[in-house]
Amino acid sequence: MSTIKKQTVRGKRIGIFHGKFDPPHYGHLFCASRVLEHFKLDFVSFVVCATPPNKPVGALDAEDRYAMVVAAVEETPGFTTSRADLHHGGQSYSLTTVEAIREQYGPDNEYFYITSSEYLDPAYKDFLGGWIGGKEMFKLCTFIVFPRESTEIAEISEWVKHPLLAKAKIEVMDLPSPPLSSSMLRDLVADGRSIDFMTPYAVQAIIKKKGHYRTLTPPTYGPPFCSVPPEKIKRLGVMAGSFDPITYGDLFIGNFGRQAYSLDRVLYVPSAIPPNNTQVSESAEARYKMVVAATANNEFFDDSRIDLARGTTSYALLTAQELIAKYGKDVEISWFLAADFINPDNEWCLPNWMGGETFMKMVSFLVFARSSKQLKQAAEWAKQLKERYPYLRMEVMSDCPCDFVESHTIRKLVSEGRSTWFTTTWGVQQIIAKEKLYLPEPAAKRSSRAKAKKAPAKKTPPKASPKPRRKA
C-alpha cells in the first residue's frame, strides 16, 4: 500500500465513477458526460478497481485497465483519472474508494457516486442496502443513478423507499444508461471483429498493441478483409434513413453487420424527403454533409446522394432499383432495417411501404433492435412476416449491440445547450456547432435569415415631393 498524492481543493462538486472498465467504452463516457453537465460538477474522476470483490476469471490487470481509462478520458474537459484504488491495494470496496477520493481532494467538497439502477433493486444480489460500509457511504456522498433500458422510473421510485436506503441521498437521471457493455467488446475482440464506434480509437490502439482479450481459440472472423473497389462490389449493405443527425449507433450497427454478414461495403443513404411523414429538423444537404463526415475515415463505408439527386420522396423501392442499375443486376443488397418497421402494429410496417412486396423480393433484410426488449419481439415479428411472405429473406441481428443513442437525443441535447460528446463522431459534432444546427429556431427560419443577411440591401429611391398646386 502506498500513499496517493493529495490535491486538496474546497467547495467543488466531484463525481466518482468507480468500475472495472475492462475495457472502457462510449457507454461509460456518455453517462459521465451527462452527469457532469446535468449536476454542474467541476469534474468526474474515473477510479479503476484494483481487485473487484466479484472479479471475473481472466480480467485484465488493473494497470492495463487504468492505461485504457487514461487514453479514453485524457482529451475530455472535466474528466480525470484517479489511482486511489491502485494505491490502496487489496479488494476494491466502494466505501474505501470514496474515503480515498475524499482524502485525495479533501473533505470540504460535495461528492457524487455514479452507478446504475440495478443496485437499488432489493432483489438484486449486490443490492446497495447490503453493501459493505453502505451506511457510512450514505453520509459521505450522493448517489447518481442511471436507469437500465428495461427499468422504469416508477419502479426505481419504489425501490428507493426500501428501509435500508432511507438515509441514502439518491438522484435518478432522466436518460437510461446505454446498452453497451465491456463484456460485449471483449467478445467482439475475441471473435476477431472490429469495435469501431464503441470505444475511442486510443483505447482500440492499446487493445490491439497489447493483444488484450485475445483467446487461444482462433477468432471466427479472422483479420478484417480489405475493401473492394465499387466496380467489384457483390454484397452491398444499405443503411438508409434521415440521419438527423447520424449517430455512433448508426455506424456501429453498419460495422457489425458488415463483418457478421461478409458485406463488401456499407452504403449510407440520407433521405431527401422521408416517406412516413417524419419531420426532419435540418435540410437534406446538411444531413448529407454530416453523413460524409461520419463515414469518411472508414474504408468499408460509403455515402450516397442517390435519394438527394432524385429530390422527391425517398421510397426504398426506387433507391433499390437505382442501386441495382448502378452496381449491376448480380449485386446482393442487404438492407439494414430498424425493428420498428416489422412491428405489425406499426402503420409503416414493411409490407405497407410503397411497392412493398416488389421491394421485399429485391433485397434481403438485416433487422436491428433499439433495445433488448424489442430484440425479443423482433424475432417473433420476423417469423410472422416470413410465414406470410415465404420469399422474404430476413435475419434479426440478435447479437448486434443495440443503438445506445438516437438522433432525437442529440437534437435534444443541442437544443438545451448541452454537449454532444460520445454520441456521434467529432466531425459531425463540429458541423453541428459550426453551422448552428438543431438550435430551437427552425432551420427554415435560420436559412432565410442567413440569405437575407448575405443579400445586399436594396436602396429605396426617395419619394418625389408633390408638385405645388397653382392657385386659381
Q: What string of DSSP letters covers 361-424?
A: HH-EEEEE-SSHHHHHHHHHHHHHHHHH-TT--EEE-TTSPPPSS-HHHHHHHHHTT---TTTS
What is the pLDDT at residue 142?
98
What is the pLDDT at residue 471?
40
The contacts of residue 455 (CB under 8 Å, 6+ apart) are none
Distance of CA 78 to the CA centre of its chain: 20
With 0.85 as the threshold, say if the pTM is over it: yes
What is the pLDDT at residue 150?
62
Q: Which of 100, 93, 109, 77 is nearest to 13 (CA)?
A: 109
**Taking all residues of the chain, what is their mean pLDDT, rounded to a whole number?**
89
Q: How many CA atoms lie within 13 A of 99 on its CB side?
A: 11
- pLDDT tens, residue by residue, 108-153: 999 999 999 999 999 999 999 999 999 999 999 999 999 887 667 7
User: How far is Cα 126 from Cα 120, in angstroms, rounded to an integer?
Assistant: 9
- Label residue 2 exposed, middle or buried (CB < 10 Å: 0-12, 13-18, 19+): exposed
Please report which confidence band the pLDDT of residue 467 belongs to, taking 50, 70 and 90 as the band edges: very low
User: How far is Cα 68 from Cα 373, in angstroms, rounded to an integer?
Assistant: 31
User: How far is Cα 150 from Cα 163, in angstroms, rounded to an integer?
Assistant: 24
Q: In this structure, what are the phi and psi dihedrals at residue 306, rounded to the nearest 5 degrees? A: -60, -40
- 380-403 burial string, b = 16+ CB within 10 Å, else e? ebbeebeeebeebebebbeebbbb
Please report which confidence band the pLDDT of residue 472 belongs to, taking 50, 70 and 90 as the band edges: very low
Q: What whole-number percentage of the chain has pLDDT above 90?
A: 73
User: How far is Cα 191 from Cα 151, in angstroms, rounded to an integer?
Assistant: 30
Q: Which of 460, 355, 22, 455 is nearest to 199 (CA)?
A: 22
**pLDDT exceeds 90 at position 32:** yes
| Domains in the chain: boundaries | 13-172, 223-453
- pLDDT tens, residue by residue, 167-219: 999 999 987 788 889 999 999 999 999 999 999 999 999 999 999 998 867 66
- Label residue 15 exposed, middle or buried (CB < 10 Å: 0-12, 13-18, 19+): buried
Looking at 232-315, list the stretches that DSSP marks H as alpha helix, in order from N- to C-terminal side. 248-260, 284-295, 306-310
What is the pLDDT at residue 1?
47
CA distances from 251 to 83, 233, 257 (A): 33, 20, 10
Please report which confidence band the pLDDT of residue 468 belongs to, taking 50, 70 and 90 as the band edges: very low
Please report which confidence band the pLDDT of residue 276 belongs to, taking 50, 70 and 90 as the band edges: confident
Please report which confidence band the pLDDT of residue 277 belongs to, taking 50, 70 and 90 as the band edges: low
- pLDDT tens, residue by residue, 212-246: 998 867 666 655 556 788 888 999 999 999 999 99
CA distances from 223 to 187, 209, 218, 227 (A): 15, 14, 11, 12
Give the CA angle between residues 181, 245, 334 to the nearest 5°: 70
- pLDDT tens, residue by residue, 446-455: 555 455 545 5
CATH topology of domain 13-172: Rossmann fold (3.40.50)
Dihedral class, residue 180 (left if φ above 0, else alpha if ψ from -120 to 50, else beta) = beta
Please compute the mean of the pLDDT values over residues 357-369 and round it to a whole number: 98
What is the pLDDT at residue 410?
95
CA distances from 42 to 141, 360, 391, 414 (A): 15, 53, 58, 21
Please compute the mean of the pLDDT values over residues 410-415 and round it to a whole number: 95
What is the pLDDT at residue 54?
61
Q: Which three cell numbers stand for residue 133?
A: 460500509
433 versus 403: which is more confidently predicted?
433
User: How far is Cα 296 from Cα 288, in angstroms, rounded to an integer?
Assistant: 12
- Bond before 23 cis per omega within 30 degrees: yes
454 versus 440: which is more confidently predicted?
440
Listed range (44-58, 65-79, 274-288) with the worst mean pLDDT: 44-58
**440 close to 415: Cβ distance less than 8 angstroms:** yes
**pLDDT exceeds 70 at position 367:** yes
Q: In sequence order, what E strands does 265-323 have?
A: 265-270, 301-303
What is the pLDDT at residue 220?
65
Edge-to-edge strands, sheet with 79-82: 79-82, 43-48, 13-19, 110-116, 142-146, 170-172
What is the pLDDT at residue 404?
74
**Number of Cβ within a 10 Å radius of residue 427:** 16
Q: How many CA atoms lie within 13 A of 17 on its CB side?
A: 25
Dihedral class, residue 311 (left if φ above 0, else alpha if ψ from -120 to 50, else beta) = left
What is the pLDDT at residue 155?
87
What is the pLDDT at residue 164?
95
The answer to whether domain 13-172 and domain 223-453 are alike in fold is yes
Say if domain 223-453 classifies as CATH 3.40.50.620. Answer: yes
**Amino acid sitting at position 246:** I
